[in-house]
Amino acid sequence: MPRRAILGTAGIGLLAVLGALSGTGLGKDPGATLNRPPQSLAAYYPPTAKRAEYPLAMLQLGRIMGAAFQEIYDRKFEPGEKDLAALREQYRSVAALVPEWKGYFPEAPLNALAEKVKARASEAELRAATAQVEAVCTNCHVQEMARVQALYRWKPFARVATPTRSGSSISFHQVMIEVSNLLAALPHNAGQKNFELAGQSYQSLSEQFDYLEGLCVNCHDEPREYFVDKSVKGRLMRMAGMVRAQNPNAAEYEKLVGEIYQQSCIPCHAIHMPPAFLQMQMGMGNPG
């Protein structure tokens, strides 16, 4: 039977996504099509720095901003003016960290807000002025944050691998493809009453899910309790019981597979695929 007929709509969609993640959806490695953040930023992240200094500086900027704005909204203008001065100082300090990003830190919105505060303007005018300052932050984040996080927050997906029982290793992409293929093959084989193959598919699928769980330790210090949790594995075990009972109802298998897609595959992809794609676009390699 043609592969498309075996997979069904959900399986085809999952394979297309996984192919894109590996670069095989294009038939080639797309290479670097997106510039990395400025090299000067590297000074504020490990291994050059002991910790992620740049986001900490940004968080401090946000804390000062939040305190100042709340004082202004509460019409506590004197402490608000003092915190606005502290905000301007931190704003300029952060702006100086990455010279290439100096243009993201215009002074005009801060000046306009300071004038509104000095004039003891109405709440509506004050909120409009603070919104202009907040828009400065949002503009920079929209332009730069995803690339920065893909480079410095996420470890390279191309290096994610886990040992196998044979002593070799298997990559992130290889596990994904195997899981996808087996989630399609198991219902198909059972529906064709080929329970020997269906049983083999289950054994391989169970093994691949173990490898998938093992991949998490590449990046996470604490055990993951979702995507590969007991509820997902429980559905795999239910399919194993159906195979042992020689249940040929493919729809019952497909229901469980669909629930695994919804509870494991799709939410995991929603979190991990955007940075993986960005890393590929920045030339950090295929996770395949």
Q: What is the pLDDT of residues 71-117, one digit of tens each?
A: 999 999 999 999 999 999 999 999 999 999 999 999 999 999 999 99
Mean pLDDT of 275-287: 87
CB 47 within 8 A of CB 31: no
Assign residue 31 a region (left: φ > 0; alpha: ψ between -120 and 50; beta: otherwise): left
For residue 65, what is the enclosing H or E element? helix 53-73
**How many angstroms separate the CA atoms of 74 and 234, rounded?**
53
pLDDT score of 127: 98
- The predicted model scores a pTM of 0.78
pLDDT score of 223: 77
**pLDDT(124) > 60:** yes
For residue 200, what is the enclosing H or E element? helix 195-215
**How many angstroms separate the CA atoms of 242 and 264, rounded?**
21
Mean pLDDT of 192-215: 92
Higher per-residue confidence, 32 vs 104: 104
**pLDDT(162) > 60:** yes
**pLDDT(230) > 60:** yes
